[in-house]
Every structure is written in structure tokens, then in C-alpha cells.
Amino acid sequence: MNSRERVRRAIAREPVDRIPIFDSFWTETEKDFRQHGIPEDVSLGQFFDFDIELFWFEQSFLLERKVFEETDEYRIESDDWGTVNRVFKEQQTTPGLIEFGVKDRASWETEFKPLQVMTPERLELDRLRKHYTGIRKREKYAVLSMLGPFECTWHRIGPEKQLVMLVEDPDWLMDMYATDVQLIKDGWKALWEAGVQPDALWLFEDIAYRSGMLFSPRHYKKVLQPFHAQLTEFIHSYGCQVIYHSDGDLAKALPLLVEAGIDCLQPMEVKAGMDVRKLKEEYGDKLAFMGNIDARLFQENDLAGLEAELRAKLPVAMNSSGYIYHSDHSIPPGARLETYQFCMDLVKELGNYD
């Protein structure tokens, strides 16, 4: 069974030979791993023989990046969304947000919305064709990885303002969400017509934090769920699958995400109280799962704790298929290469169905 078949069948909760494997890494972790022997010309995914490979196209306003201030430690710069950030040079961090490009609905309608349409420069088809051809030669599961509407919108107006607008101006929010959905649809169609045909869409957006959703289930159902449902219906019409990423405690969101049609949930953050064993019991007949292996154990290089985590969770998660190995976030700085290799070896041993 090749990787493409394995992942597709696991997400469909059909029998597989072993659990598929995929993971993500902080930039500092990748640099450290390479200093300890992984060649620069080999991706970490290829080195560890992951089953999934990602590609994407640009969703921003494609604005020119500008640097306003620079020190030895950081730069203050605007990105291609028009967002002004403080960016630290030697470490990967959450954005240091300072100012946002879209100030009001008038500027959105006249200045920014016209920029958020599909153009050839967004797709960079030559680059994507080359990448996609390699994925197919390696027989991996090919995923178009995109930001979801909620994630895109905080890049435009800021996270706090977006939450206020859920109550004060939901119509404008939904107009921005609709623009995002149309852009993804147009890009997906253009890729398929060009012969770049993903197996799945992976939507990345954080709608929750450690203690619960960032907004109420009622607001999700009214304002955001219709756009998730549009996307899942569209992707399913191509015979493809939808993976959904959100950090945080998604307990209250899960019934509505299932209702919206997602096929696989990732990453199930342990420190937010998510537990794949409980989720498997409640939603295993409706959803596949990816993740929930505590990333803090890698940072602590706790081999005994990591082994206990895998032995406790994998047998339950992989029961009747429907599970893909992943950490519960990304492998953090401080994790040693030998720790991660220990994990990979154990996952392959425990995750085998034969």
C-alpha cells in the first residue's frame, strides 16, 4: 500500500496496513536537526518518509513588503497583507502585530477586495507542477494547504477587531469570508485544470484557545460554518477530502465542524484538554484524527514519557483505522534528533496493523 492510498483510506476510516505518519517542525528545530546530520537538499518529510506532502498558493493581497526599522535583534516590517509586524531574526515566534492594512469597510471594498482575486502570479504554476510531479513520483498524499477564512481575516483587520465584528458587523465579516472561499475555489479549479490535482484541502485556522472557543458556537454556526460547509461540499464534489486544523479546546466546536463536513481533525492540543481517546469514542464513526501526541515531551527529550504517551494513545486512536500520527502542534526547539527518531521507530512498531 503506498502513502497516497494509506492516507486516503485512513481518513475514510477504511483498513490500512499501518497508520500514516506526518509531522511539523519549528524553524529552529529543523535547523538543529540539519546541524546533526540531515542534508540541506532533503526535506524533513522525505528524510523521515512521511506519507503526506503539502503545497499551497498565495492568499494575501500580494502587497510589496517594506522594512521600517531594523536592529540586530528584529525588524519592523509590513508583509504582503499590509500588516506591520515585529519579526525577530533568530527565532520563530507568533507575530508581533502592530498595525493592519484594512482600516474600514470602505477601504476593503475599494482598495483591498479587488486585490483578493485569482491571478496566475498567485499560483506560480511552473513551481507547483514541479513540486506536484515529485509528490506523485513518491506516491505521497498531496494536500493543498490553505488558511481558512477566519485566519485570513485577522491578517486584514486584526484578531481583536474580528471578534468584535462577529457581534457588531457580521455582514462585513461574511463578505470577507466569502471572498476567501471564492479564492480557494478558483485556485483549486485552476490547479485541477492545469493537471495539479490534490487529494485533499487542509484548512488552517485557530478558532479556539486553551480554555475553549474564541467565540460562541452560536456565532460560529451563524457566521463561519456556512463557509466551511461551502468549501467541504466543493472539495467533496471532486472526490477529495478536507482536513481541518485548529489549536485549542474544540470540544464545543466539534459537533458543528462535523456538521460542516470536515473529514479529519488536527492537531488536538493536549494542554488544551483534547484527548484522542475520548474523541475517538464520541466521533470515531464520523471523523478521522491526526495528532494529540504531546509536543512538550519532545522538547523535554522525555523518552519514557513519550513512549508512555504513544503506548497509551495509539492503540485506541488507530482502532478501526481513522488515525494519522502527528504531534499535537509542531516539534519545538530543544527536541533532539535522536528523540524524534526514537519516536518514529516506535510509531512504526506500534502503528502496524499486520
Are 69 and 147 part of one and the same domain?
no
DSSP 322-349: -EEB-BSS-BPTT--HHHHHHHHHHHHH
Are 75 and 186 part of one and the same domain?
no
Are 252 and 324 part of one and the same domain?
yes
What average pLDDT does the segment 128-136 reach?
A: 97
Residue 74 or residue 150, greater confidence: 150
Domain that holds residue 276: 3-59+116-350
- Which position has the grid cell 503506498? 2
Confidence class for position 254, pLDDT limits 50, 70, 90: very high
Q: Kindly state whether residue 108 falls inside one of the protein's structural domains.
A: no
Are 128 and 143 part of one and the same domain?
yes
What average pLDDT does the segment 163-171 reach?
A: 95
Are 177 and 158 part of one and the same domain?
yes
| Alpha-carbon span 32 to 25, nearest angstrom | 11
Are 252 and 173 part of one and the same domain?
yes
| Alpha-carbon span 78 to 222, nearest angstrom | 33
pLDDT for 94 equals 67
Tell me if 254 sits within 8 A of 279, measured CB to CB: yes
Tell me if 51 sits within 8 A of 6, measured CB to CB: yes
Are 220 and 272 part of one and the same domain?
yes
Return the CATH number at 216: 3.20.20.210
Are 164 and 74 part of one and the same domain?
no
| Interacting residues of 257 by C-beta distance below 8 A, sequence separation 6+ | 228, 244, 250, 265
| Alpha-carbon span 325 to 317, nearest angstrom | 9
| Residues paired with residue 265 on neighbouring β-strands, in sequence order | 244, 289
| Alpha-carbon span 68 to 53, nearest angstrom | 36
Cell triple for residue 262?
470536515
| Alpha-carbon span 26 to 158, nearest angstrom | 24
Tell me if 239 sits within 8 A of 265, measured CB to CB: no
Q: Kindly state whether residue 82 falls inside one of the protein's structural domains.
A: yes
Q: What digits encode the pLDDT tens for the residues 103-117? A: 999 999 999 999 999
Are 25 and 98 part of one and the same domain?
no
User: Average per-residue pLDDT in the chain?
Assistant: 95
Are 82 and 196 part of one and the same domain?
no
Q: Kindly state whether residue 111 falls inside one of the protein's structural domains.
A: no
Q: Kindly state whether residue 110 falls inside one of the protein's structural domains.
A: no
Q: Kindly state whether residue 329 falls inside one of the protein's structural domains.
A: yes
pTM over 0.75: yes
What average pLDDT does the segment 25-42 reach?
A: 94
The amino acid present at 61, given as its one-letter code, is F
- Angstrom CA distances, 347 to 54, 315, 324, 352, stand at 21, 11, 10, 8
Q: How many domains does the chain have?
A: 2
How would you classify the pairing of strands 264-267 and 208-209? unpaired
Are 93 and 195 part of one and the same domain?
no
- Which position has the grid cell 503506548? 311
pLDDT for 354 equals 82
Are 174 and 239 part of one and the same domain?
yes
